[in-house]
Amino acid sequence: LENTLATPVGITLDRYIMRKQAEFPFATGELSQLLRDIVLAAKIVNREVNRAGLMDITGNYGAQNVQGEQQQKLDVVANIRFIRALKNGGEACAILSEEDDDIIHTGNDQGRYVVAMDPLDGSSNIDVNVSIGTIFSIYRRVSPIGSKSTKEDFLQGGRKQVAAGYILYGSSTMLVYTTGHGVVCFTYEHSLGEFFLSHDGVEIPKQGAIFSCNEGNWFEYPEWVRTYLLQCKQRSYSGRYIGSLVADYHRNLFKGGIYLYPPTAKNPNGKLRLLYEAYPLAFLIEQAGGKALAGAEAVLDIEPTDYHQRAPLFIGSSEMVDDLVACLTAEA
């Protein structure tokens, strides 16, 4: 019982953030506030996602409903919600979103942070009631405070992230994030409107028995990826692929497994976006004791050049990623 009382599991996100901040007496609290802003938008998006089937807000962007009102796709709704929350919050000076070509200046030029995000990932699953997610990545700006944010703020490289995480809108809604001191997971209590700490110090099992990839692309995969996948099959690992990055990643994080999005003929650099998909999930996995590669190179070491650049992604349990690398090395 003593042990149970000692564990903070069950405390609210707000209280958790306050306690953590007390451990860093020189922290200004701005990052904490930024996380709260993201969470507020996530609660609103969660509500929209939950009632999507009822509210007629799925379907094509630009379509009109019977009242003649503008219908919006959920990913557009999510984009608007997060941008609004970050503008109102004041901590972020600019946002990079998968939904917009260029960065969005929030007008908060005093803000010390920038946020790169995919407001609602899993486009093929959004309209068919399958789990989807939000991914975010936070940097301290390098441009002078008080000026307009610049490209350099976003192209600092994955190792410069100060926080990253995701919200999974699944059978439960969960927030998983890191500020570089391990990984924490919170579960949303709908009736109370609060996230509660459900898993502290999340660690991915070193070895797993799940592989996740789009096997429809098999003939386009590099030979070493196919060699590895054949090994998985010889070992009777389970093939599990939702097609929602956050959901596939989350399952593998807790059960152990590997997620692969290799280069293909259509997407020679893979499909996933470096700044707001690969980097944040790579930061999280390293914090959870796993590994993330883009080939021979660690995802976090890739030099960023463009806001929306893509990167191959091989991410998950460390020993599984090592086995994959062995196939790459053997082929070379």
* Phi (first) and psi of residue 44, to 5 degrees: -70, -45
Amino acid type, 306:
D
* Phi (first) and psi of residue 157, to 5 degrees: 105, 150
Q: Identify what 65 binds: ligand AHM, Mg ion, none; CB under 5 to 8 Å per kind.
A: none
| Distance separating alpha carbons of residues 113 and 163, to the nearest angstrom | 10
* Least distance CB 124 / ligand AHM (angstroms): 6
Question: Is residue 245 a contact point for ligand AHM (CB under 6 A)?
Answer: yes
Question: Is residue 99 a contact point for Mg ion (CB under 5 A)?
Answer: no
Q: Which of 97, 179, 244, 252 binds ligand AHM (CB under 6 A)?
A: 244
Q: Which is nearer to ligand AHM, 37 or 118 (CB)?
A: 118
Question: Is residue 248 a contact point for Mg ion (CB under 5 A)?
Answer: no
Spatial CA neighbour of 114 closest among 34, 28, 27, 20: 34
Q: Identify what 271 binds: ligand AHM, Mg ion, none; CB under 5 to 8 Å per kind.
A: ligand AHM
Binding mask 45-74 for Mg ion (x = CB under 5 A): ------------------------------
**Token pair of 315, please?**
């991410």
User: How many residues belong to the site for Mg ion (CB under 5 A)?
Assistant: 2
User: How many residues belong to the site for ligand AHM (CB under 6 A)?
Assistant: 11
| Distance separating alpha carbons of residues 57 and 134, to the nearest angstrom | 18
| Distance separating alpha carbons of residues 107 and 88, to the nearest angstrom | 10
Question: Is residue 250 a contact point for ligand AHM (CB under 6 A)?
Answer: no
* Least distance CB 97 / ligand AHM (angstroms): 11
Question: Is residue 122 a contact point for ligand AHM (CB under 6 A)?
Answer: yes
Give the interface segment with ligand AHM, choosing from 51-59, 114-122, 161-169, 296-304 (CB under 6 A): 114-122
| Distance separating alpha carbons of residues 240 and 277, to the nearest angstrom | 19
Instruction: Compute CA distances 53 → 58, 79, 112, 126, 281, whole Å.
Output: 7, 19, 38, 10, 29
Q: Kindly give, in sequence order, each residue whose CB lies less than 8 Å from that of residue 86, ignoring residues fewer than 6 positions away.
A: 34, 37, 38, 41, 92, 95, 106, 115
Spatial CA neighbour of 175 closest among 43, 61, 23, 75: 43
Question: Is residue 121 a contact point for ligand AHM (CB under 6 A)?
Answer: yes
Q: Identify what 198 binds: Mg ion, ligand AHM, none; CB under 5 to 8 Å per kind.
A: none
> Which residues in the 86-105 window bind ligand AHM by CB under 6 A?
98
Question: Contact positions toward Mg ion, by CB under 5 A?
Answer: 118, 121
